[in-house]
Structure formats: C-alpha cells, structure tokens
Amino acid sequence: MNIAFIGLGNMGSPMASNLVKAGHRVTVFDLVESAMQALESEGAGRADSAEAATQGADVVISMLPAGVHVKGLYLGRDDAPGLLETLDASTPSTPNTPNTRPLIIDASTISPEDARTVAAAAAERGFTWLDAPVSGGVGGAKAGALTFIVGGSAEGFEQAKPVLDAMGKNVFHAGDNGAGQVAKICNNMLLGILMSGTAEALALGVKNGMDPAVLSEIMKQSSGGNWALNGYNPWPGVMEGAAAGRDYEGGFLTDLMAKDLGLAWELALGSKSTVPMGSQARNLFALHSAQGNGRLDFSSIQKLYREGE
Amino acid sequence: MNIAFIGLGNMGSPMASNLVKAGHRVTVFDLVESAMQALESEGAGRADSAEAATQGADVVISMLPAGVHVKGLYLGRDDAPGLLETLDASTPSTPNTPNTRPLIIDASTISPEDARTVAAAAAERGFTWLDAPVSGGVGGAKAGALTFIVGGSAEGFEQAKPVLDAMGKNVFHAGDNGAGQVAKICNNMLLGILMSGTAEALALGVKNGMDPAVLSEIMKQSSGGNWALNGYNPWPGVMEGAAAGRDYEGGFLTDLMAKDLGLAWELALGSKSTVPMGSQARNLFALHSAQGNGRLDFSSIQKLYREGE
Amino acid sequence: MNIAFIGLGNMGSPMASNLVKAGHRVTVFDLVESAMQALESEGAGRADSAEAATQGADVVISMLPAGVHVKGLYLGRDDAPGLLETLDASTPSTPNTPNTRPLIIDASTISPEDARTVAAAAAERGFTWLDAPVSGGVGGAKAGALTFIVGGSAEGFEQAKPVLDAMGKNVFHAGDNGAGQVAKICNNMLLGILMSGTAEALALGVKNGMDPAVLSEIMKQSSGGNWALNGYNPWPGVMEGAAAGRDYEGGFLTDLMAKDLGLAWELALGSKSTVPMGSQARNLFALHSAQGNGRLDFSSIQKLYREGE
Amino acid sequence: MNIAFIGLGNMGSPMASNLVKAGHRVTVFDLVESAMQALESEGAGRADSAEAATQGADVVISMLPAGVHVKGLYLGRDDAPGLLETLDASTPSTPNTPNTRPLIIDASTISPEDARTVAAAAAERGFTWLDAPVSGGVGGAKAGALTFIVGGSAEGFEQAKPVLDAMGKNVFHAGDNGAGQVAKICNNMLLGILMSGTAEALALGVKNGMDPAVLSEIMKQSSGGNWALNGYNPWPGVMEGAAAGRDYEGGFLTDLMAKDLGLAWELALGSKSTVPMGSQARNLFALHSAQGNGRLDFSSIQKLYREGE
C-alpha cells in the first residue's frame, strides 16, 4: 500500500520504519532533515512537504506532539492550507473510481475535543479520519509492539487494522471519533493511580518491617495485583529490567505522566466528573516533578514515599 | 493431627469444616452453641471451653473478630486465665517428649502490634505463635481457597503450612511476627485504591461517551490492568458473576474495606508514613458507607461515581 | 461621566443602577429588552447595540457570563466587528484632545489568558483595558458593596477607582492585566478550602459529642478562625441570616464554586502547580453537585459531611 | 490558693510561673531537678513527689506530654499508686469541711478517650477532674495569653476559671469531659487545613505572576480571610514577626501539627467520619516532615509548594 507518514519523532520514526519492513511503500515528511534521511536509508521515499507526501497515498498517518500541530496539519495554518483541502483537490484526478480518497489515521495523543473537531471537518469533505493514540512507548514502537486505541467508524477501523498491525501488538476499537483519546486518558489515569498506590503500599510495608520483594510477591498474587507489580515494580532491586533498577533512567517520564493526568483533569472538567483518586495522583506526580524528577521514569514516584528513611 | 479450633464465625466454621474433611481430628469451641452443633454433625469434637478444646492438641487455631478477643483468649481476662497459661500447665503431662507444646496459629485480622504482643508472651512460655490473617472471604473459606499471609519464624511456618494447605490455596511467609498482619493491611489498602481508581476511570470514560465493557477490556489488556478489572469489575453488566451484577449484594462489604483502610491509617500513624492514595480511598469508602452502602459489596463504590447520571 | 454599560444580568443590572444613583450618565445595552427597560425607568439611557451605547462614552464597563462573550464583544464575531474597532473609528472625531479614548473596564470573571488577550489587543489600538472581576454576589452588587480585584496599569487603576467606588466597598489593584482574574481564582479556591474544611471540622466535633455552636465559637476565636466561621457558618441554626438557616437556598451556588475551582485547576495545569487542597475541594463540590445540590448555596457542603447521622 | 503543679516542661514552667506571679502558693513537682529549681527561685515551693506536692492543695494542675503519663499520674503505675488514691486518703484529714477535695485540672493534650477514662475514675472517688488543653504555644504560655478549652462539669468550669485566667486570655467551656480535647483537635485540624490551603493559594498566585503581599492583602480582606493570613502569613517577607521571616525557626513545629492531625484521624476512625480535607493536610505535613522539615514552624509547608521555582 502507498502510505504517507507525517511526523518522524522518537515514536514516529520507528513506526514508519516498521511499515517499510512490512513491505509498504512509505513516503515520509518531517521538518527535521536528518530524520527523513534515516528513513530514506531504510527504503522510504521522502517529500518536501506534507502535501507532496500525501499525493497518491492510500493511507495517511500522522504522529505529532500536540493538538495544535494536528489541527494545523489537517485544517491549515496562516501560511499553508490544510491536508483536508489539498487532498480534496488532488483526489478527483482519477474519476470513475469508487472511493479513491485515502484513509487518515492520526496516532498523536491530543484532546478528544480536538480529535472530534478534525474528524468532523474530514467527514464533511468525505474523508474517514481516525484517532489512534498509542501506548507502549519508544520501546514498543521499535519492537512493533504498540497498543493502538482507535476512535472512529467501524468501517474505518477495519480498513486501518492491517496497517496498524504492522506497528502494534494490540489494536482496540474504542468507539466513535474521540473515543480513542478518551480511552487512552482513562487508562493512563488508572496507571498513575496504580503506580502511586503500589509505591505507597510498598513504602508502608517496608517502614513496618517488610521485605519489599516478599511484599511485592504477596500483593501480586493477591487482590492487590496490578500491572505495576507484574512488570514495572517501582522498588529498586525487586524486579530485573525495571526502571527502578537503573536509577529510574529512561522509560515513561514523570513529566509525561503528569501531562496525561492533566488531560484527565480537562476531561473531568468538561464532563463535571469527580476524580479524587486521579487528582491525588496528578498532584503527586506534579510535586515529584517540581522536586526535580520530571525527567526520570514515572515509577520514581517511589522516591517521594521513601523520604526520611 | 489433633487440632483445636477456637471461633466458629462466618469464616471459622467453613475453615474448621475443611480441616475435618482433610482427615484431622478437630475439637471446636465457640460461645454460640449452634455453631458447635453444626461442626459436630460434620465429625468434629466439641468442648465446653477453649481450655478444654486445647487439651492434647498438636495445633491450636483461632479465628476471632478483633485484637481484644485474641488477647483475651491467649493472655487471659478478668474472669479466666489465658491459654498460654493453661496450655503451659497441661503440656508437661507427657514428659521425655522433645516438644509436646502445640503450635499456635491465629488467623484473625488484628493489628500488628497486638500480634507481636501475644507472640512475645507465647515465646516467653516456649510456644510458637503465628499470625496468619487470610484473604479470600467467605467464598474462599468454603472452597478451601483462602490466602494465608503468615508472620512468625521460618520453622513455625514450615510446621503450619500442611495444616493451612487444607484450608487455603496460597500460603505466604511474610516475615517475623506481625508481618502477616502488615502485609495483609498493605495489600488491602492497595485493593481499596485499585477498586476506587478503576471505578473512577470507568465513570470518567462513560461520561465521555465510552462503553464500559469496551473500556474495561482495553484497560485490562493495557497498563491499567489490575485485579478488579480481571475478576471483580465494578460496573454492572460488564462481568458475569461479579457482585456488580447482583446489585452489589454479598461479597466483601464496604464497611470491612473501610475498616481495613482504617488499619492502614493506624499503621501510617505509627510509622509516620505518608499515605495520600490510601487516605483518599479510606475517605471515599467511609463516605459511601455513611450514605447507606456499608452492607453492600465494596465494588459498589462505583455508585458514588455515577451520581447525577 | 458618560458611562456605557454592557451586560445587564443579575449582577450587571444592580451595578449599572448604582452608577445612575451616583449621578453618572449611563447608557446601557443588553440583549434582554426587559432588563434595559428596568434601567431606563431608573434614569439610564439605552441603545440598540453595544456600538451605539459606547458612542461618546468616557468609560465602558462590561459584565458578561464568560470569556467567549468578552472576546466577542471586544474582538468581534462573525456577524459584527468588535468594540475595539468601532471605538477606534469613532474616537478621532474630537481632534486636538489629549486622549479622548474611553477607559474600558471588564468586570466579568474569565480566564487570565482571555483577559490578557483582549487587553493586549486593546493596547495595540491605544485603549486602556482593565480586568476587574468582583466578589460579593448579588447582595453585594445591590448594596454597592462589591469587592473589585483589578488587573491592569496603575494609571488605569487610578482612573477607574472613582467609578468602581460607586459600585463597591473594596477596590484592589492586583497587578498587571490578568492579575485581577488570578487573584480572584486564588481567593475563591481558598474559600472553597475554608468552607469544606470548616464543615468537616464541625461534623467531626458533633459526631464526637460537641455542640456545633460552642465549637464554632471556640474555633472562630482560636487559630481555626476564618471567613466562613465569621459570617457564613455552614451548620444550620448556628448563625442568624446564614444560608444554612434557610435550607441553603440562594447565596453563592455549589455549581459556581465548582466552576471557580475548575478555573483553579486550569491555572494549576498552566503553571504546573501542585494543588492538593484545592483539588480535594473541587472534587467534593463536584460530587456534592452530582448528588443534586448544585443549585444550593455552597455552604450546603455541610450536608455531605452529615450523611448517616 | 494552694496549687500543686505537676509537669514543668516548655509549657508547664511558664504556666506555673504565671500562677506564682498572680499570688498563688504554688508547689511544683517534675522529674527534672533544674526545672524545679528555676520555679523555686521565682517563689514556688517544691516537693519530692507528685503525692507530696498535692498535700493540702486546693487545686491540682498537670501538664504532661501524653495520655500514658496522665493515666500513670492519676490511676497509678506498677511502681506507684495514682493521685486519685493518695489524694483520697489524704483529704479526710480535715473532717466537717464541706468539700475539701481539690479540683483537678489536666492541661495536657491527650485523646478524648483517655480524658474520659481518668475523669470517670476521678468522679468515682468524688473528685472533679477537667480536661483543659491549651493553644497558643510557648509564647502564649510565657505571656499568660493561652487559650484553654475545657471539658467537664459547668460547676468545675466555674471553679477553674479564675485559676486559668491567671495563665490565659481565653477560657472556653467546650462541654463534658473529653470535649476540651475534641474541640482542640477539631480546631487544630482546621488550622492545618487553613495553613496548607493558604500556602497553596499564595503559591498558585505567585506562579501566575502575583505579588505575594498584594495577593495576601486581597484574600485577607475577602472571603479567603483566615487566621493564617491575619497573623501568621507563611510567605517570607509578607508579614513582620511571622515565622516565615526567620527561616521558619521556632513556633509551632511541623511535627506537632502532624501529630495533631494524627489525633484527628483517630477521632475520625472512632466516629467513622469522613475527613478528606484533614487527611490531605495530615499527609502534606507528614511528607514535609519526612523531607527534613519536622523541626521547622508548620508554616514552612509553604516550602513544599515552592519546589521547582
């Protein structure tokens, strides 16, 4: 398939690379020259603009930092028309074809509201646009083991699935447009709660004489069992390979967790929801970041609970 | 083996029953006549007092409501000497035997402090005393599928394990005396956090248009995965067999969760620990109880998040 | 002075009325005909549009529901140019006058960001624009006893003060543009904390046998003293005239407090601030609203703490 | 009057001193020799034991660190009978006197439960025993400006008032025995909420461009007004004489605030109360203490909110 890939950051580059490996004809565009060169050396084509990259594409995939970039790309900016317009103008060139318009998949993490805005504008012009945020981090992107959480029509999801399978291990259909973003935010809020709760339970046990490895094992096999205990134990030395074992370097950063919990606040404000557990987690990670740990893995929240040892 | 079993409540009765089924000679004592009759009909012996029940026992097991009862049983009350005294006097009757003193296992959930107090008094008189609180509820007790979290010496644990295996599926050695209680409190605090956090994430998603079953499935297979999502989903209709499907009847009561979270507060006060997530959960369950839901399963905390729907 | 007043809601009407009483020539505009008639009967002039109302004005005052309305009024909407444009075109009609451009005061409660945006646009066209949100409610507006918290230049503040004095008792200069809004949000966050904290302390005391009036008096004169205890006691029957004494009817609504605490969240997100106390209060008021109390006075949060009595 | 004063710590010494200055005949006892010498040099008598100090006393006052000491003093310990016994035996020496038994006032801060236990034992033996915890700190004790919050009978309160007036400025009758302690705990919980809430509002404002002194003044005169803003501003430099101005040295220590908030937890556990605001404050002060600030004034919680500036 002809795939246009816009946005070659830490996540986008390995994702595009996996599409090339899967045999697709991939044309990339990014503002960073070196990122395009790297993909070119792996077999991708490159273009001088997003508009050029998407000419003749069956599928357009974007992976951008925030909602403002996604809106700029598709709806246009002061200095450039949006893809929805340029794609529109280019597609009728092959008349008498059932639907030659490319499927559009945005894998960025943005607000559900922004996702719905762009999706609606796309629908008006006859495009299927999907929000498909990922989880799994850079490691997952490289390994082709991402989780995609997709919002949009069932037909669009079916079309997208084979393409996403080349980059991910799990591909979920969350619901209509925006639902991909909502599900990701809810999941990450719960993750923030699990991680801080697990760190808190471990610290409470250790301060009362427990061995952290023994307590971890007991809780993992009991009703306290959760994702953090299974594969991301925050106490140093308990679990091989976990970020805790390398001074919390790398991984999913505290600042990113704080940002995702901020998206949960926005979701809660918009829907007048009560979120006492998620708010608690947000404030803990924000404090932890302010104390200088923003660039450490988020499981370093354990340190906050170990003060005064 | 000769086993004395003291305390035949909702938990103690099926536990004793499983010991009988496993072929042990069990002598029971409880203040409630009918409870003793039921066990008698299953093949247990009965005694008129705790002291009488423990005559000639190899193992003494107690399952009582609270620390005050456990201390009364072993250390004595105004109106009766404690078992540590009566057992002491009775044991030398078989001289020239290496150690004829029975092993003592207390399966009650009490404070670590109380457990350590009784264990120390027992050690002074030459007895091995273990704290072995359980999780798994009445269902687990009936099915012989309890989890035992044991505090005490490694030797004591080895001796106790075959007996506990007759009543449980998992038997953990948490550490020295008191560690069984500490580990149970930590686990249940984490459980309270998981359950309220899961209910909160589900409600946030649903208020933003998600289907609760779809969101549950996504989070379960992603980094939000936890024990509640795996087998105890709090949203009605999502999981067959869960308490949510029967109007939250039965199960592990809101009031018991609130009580366990109170034990976590006591542990935190004693060790000057910070417990923002556990405190949040405690206050949510306390409020939920005050609003009339104390006798519902604790997963009914979901209702608190669905107000105003 | 010639004053144009835009926005005659529950707050704006009595504010404009007080300006008339103070002897100013006031021209009003609102979309609601009856609101304009009422002011006309008190001596104000009326206009058919905001543009018309502001012709020849020395001071323009606006009192609108939200940022979107304020931006529409000054910056323009699809269907109408903004006042910054129409005022600009009208003012040069009197040449050789030092500065004939009217002072602009917006008394609406909007986000600091929106306030700064409009203020900057105004400055570009040579206007002094002040954000001057009020506290004191409808009662304060009628009594001319509002508090104005003003953001903008010191010169602008000095010019505005005599006009604001006609409507308020306290007029503060908070700092540059936006600071009026920031200060109001911080104050109302603290108010939400004080009120819920006071209700919580009273309930804890009463559940432990205290008389609420006695406890209120002790705390009021001790280190727990605060605005709520001084004049807005949330326990029914303790303080004459308080909303608690009339089933929490009227006053400052729970929903408005929840909204203001939401503005505090936005401020915290933008500045990466940790706000554990304010977040707690926001979630309490949001829950209280979801349980059907959104239209009651915010001191009704006391009810949440009295559940199960 | 003849007054026996037991317990000459940081608080007890200046309190006893003020009684001497007021013209009472004061006999003191403490285990610390130098503390007794200091009082002797001011005109007090001294005794070799609590029992000796209380011979012939009209009033007995105790000021001890914790409940265990208070119970030991009045109810006895292994090595010594309690005052309730020795006073009992000594009092009949003057027969035909209406009521020669001394009034007993305990000014220690202990749990309401302990206070009620000792008061009941005292009543059984015909003594009036009052719980009269103080607020105001060492400064208030020296200045004779303490606040006494008294639990016990109205008659006892009337008898005690003139004596307490010599040591304090405000003397409140909170209710029956234990109510003095309950009221103090509720007040201090609210104080912890006010102080952390005030620090949080100030930090939020400053991070959004406000001057802390201007914001303090606005909130003080608005609905955010509270005891902390009036006389104990936590932001350095805003208020002359406040602990914030001397690097938070001295004053009411973080550790003591954390302890009082712990007493609030115990009260909440006993009465099944929901205390989300007080819990939040407790965890903040506990964390602040663990981060090395336990011996600073409690207004240093401001530092926690200023991390990352």
Q: How far apart are CA A12 and CA A32, in angstroms?
A: 12
Q: Which residue has the higher pLDDT, C101 or D59?
A: D59
CATH of region C182-305, choose from 3.40.50.1100, 3.40.50.300, 1.20.120.530, 1.10.1040.10:
1.10.1040.10
* pLDDT reading at D93 higher than 50: no
Spatial CB neighbours of B25, under 8 Å, sequence gap ≥ 6: B1, B2, B3, B45
Number of inter-chain CB pairs under 8 A, A vs B: 244
User: What confidence score (pLDDT) does residue A99 get?
Assistant: 56
pLDDT over 90, % of chain D: 87
pLDDT band at B90 (very low <50, low <70, confident <90, very high): low
Where does A183-305 sit in CATH, by number?
1.10.1040.10
Contact D291 A308 (CB under 8 A): yes
Q: How many residues belong to chain A?
A: 309
* pLDDT reading at B93 higher than 50: no
Both tokens of A155, joined, read 């037909």
Task: Determine the residue of chain A that is closest to C294 in CA distance.
Answer: A272
Identify the DSSP state of B238: T
Spans of chain A below 50 pLDDT = 92-93, 98
User: What confidence score (pLDDT) does residue C28 get?
Assistant: 98
Query: In this predicted model, what pLDDT tens digit does every residue of B164-223 receive, in sequence order?
Result: 999 999 999 999 999 999 999 999 999 999 999 999 999 999 999 999 999 999 999 999
Q: Among this protein's residues, is B220 annotated catalytic?
A: no
**Cα B236–chain centre separation:** 27
Q: Determine the residue type at A106.
A: D
By the CB < 8 Å criterion, does C221 face chain D?
A: yes
Check if the interface score ipTM surpasses 0.85: yes
* pLDDT reading at C273 higher than 50: yes
Q: How many residues belong to chain B?
A: 309
User: What confidence score (pLDDT) does residue D167 get?
Assistant: 97
May I ask the CATH class of domain D2-175?
A: alpha beta
Where does A2-176 sit in CATH, by number?
3.40.50.720
Distance from CA of B136 to the nearest CA of A (A): 9
Task: Determine the residue of chain D that is closest to B285 in CA distance.
Answer: D274
- Helices A112-124 & A179-207 angle (0-180, nearest 10): 160
User: What confidence score (pLDDT) does residue C93 get?
Assistant: 46
Contact B304 C292 (CB under 8 A): no
Contact C290 B307 (CB under 8 A): yes
pLDDT band at B91 (very low <50, low <70, confident <90, very high): low
Query: What integer is the mean pLDDT of C204-209?
Result: 97
Chain C neighbours (≥3 Cβ pairs under 8 A) are: A, B, D
Question: Where does residue A288 rank: exposed (0-12), middle (13-18), buried (19+ CB within 10 A)?
Answer: buried
Distance from CA of B22 to the nearest CA of A (A): 24
Q: Which residue has the tokens 């580990």?
A: B183
User: What confidence score (pLDDT) does residue A91 get?
Assistant: 57
User: What confidence score (pLDDT) does residue C78 get?
Assistant: 84
Number of inter-chain CB pairs under 8 A, B vs D: 40
From chain B, pick out residues whose CB is under 8 angstroms from the CB of C290.
307-308
User: What confidence score (pLDDT) does residue D139 get?
Assistant: 85
Query: In this predicted model, what pLDDT tens digit does every residue of C61-120 receive, in sequence order?
Result: 999 988 999 999 999 998 889 999 999 766 544 555 555 789 999 999 999 999 999 999
φ/ψ of residue B140, rounded to 5:
-65, -35
Distance from CA of B279 to the nearest CA of C (A): 12
Query: What integer is the mean pLDDT of D214-218?
Result: 97
Query: What integer is the mean pLDDT of C134-138?
Result: 87
* pLDDT reading at B95 higher than 80: no
State the fold for domain B2-177.
Rossmann fold (3.40.50)
From chain D, pick out residues whose CB is under 8 angstroms from the CB of B267.
none
Task: Determine the residue of chain A that is closest to C288 in CA distance.
Answer: A274
For residue B304, the tally of other CB atoms under 10 A from its CB is: 22
Distance from CA of B39 to the nearest CA of A (A): 29
Q: How far apart are CA C134 and CA C171, in angstroms?
A: 9
From chain C, pick out residues whose CB is under 8 angstroms from the CB of A266.
269
Q: Identify any residues that bridge with A145 across adjacent strands, giving them in sequence order.
A: none
- Helices A179-207 & B276-288 angle (0-180, nearest 10): 110
Q: How many residues belong to chain C?
A: 309
Distance from CA of A122 to the nearest CA of B (A): 21
Q: Which residue has the higher pLDDT, A175 or B140?
A: A175
DSSP H or E segment with residue A168: strand A168-175
Q: Determine the residue type at D100.
A: T
Q: Which site among D116, D146, D222, D279 would you substitute to test the C interface, given the most C Cβ atoms closer than 10 Å to its Cβ?
A: D222
Positive or negative, the CA dihedral A32, A38, A42, A45 is positive
Domain ranges of chain C: 2-176, 182-305
Contact C308 D281 (CB under 8 A): no
By the CB < 8 Å criterion, does C217 face chain D?
A: yes
Determine the Cα angle at D216 with ends D210 and D219, to 5°.
Answer: 105
Closest to A164 (Cα-Cα) out of A178, A180, A176: A180
φ/ψ of residue C45, rounded to 5:
-90, 165
Query: What is the SS3 assignment for A259-307?
Result: HHHHHHHHHHHHHCCCCHHHHHHHHHHHHHHHHHHCCCEHHHHHHHHCC
Contact D291 A276 (CB under 8 A): no
By the CB < 8 Å criterion, does C270 face chain D?
A: yes
User: What confidence score (pLDDT) does residue D251 get?
Assistant: 83
Contact C187, D218 (CB under 8 A): yes
Where helices occur in D131-253 by DSSP H, the ranges are 137-143, 154-165, 179-207, 212-220, 227-231
Query: In this predicted model, what pLDDT tens digit does every residue of B41-79 receive, in sequence order?
Result: 999 999 999 999 999 999 999 999 889 999 999 999 988
Query: In this predicted model, what pLDDT tens digit does every residue of A167-207 receive, in sequence order?
Result: 999 999 999 999 999 999 999 999 999 999 999 999 999 99
User: What confidence score (pLDDT) does residue B99 get?
Assistant: 55
Catalytic residue chosen out of the listed positions C21, C184, C220, C259: C184
From chain C, pick out residues whose CB is under 8 angstroms from the CB of A269.
262, 265-266
Contact A287 D304 (CB under 8 A): yes
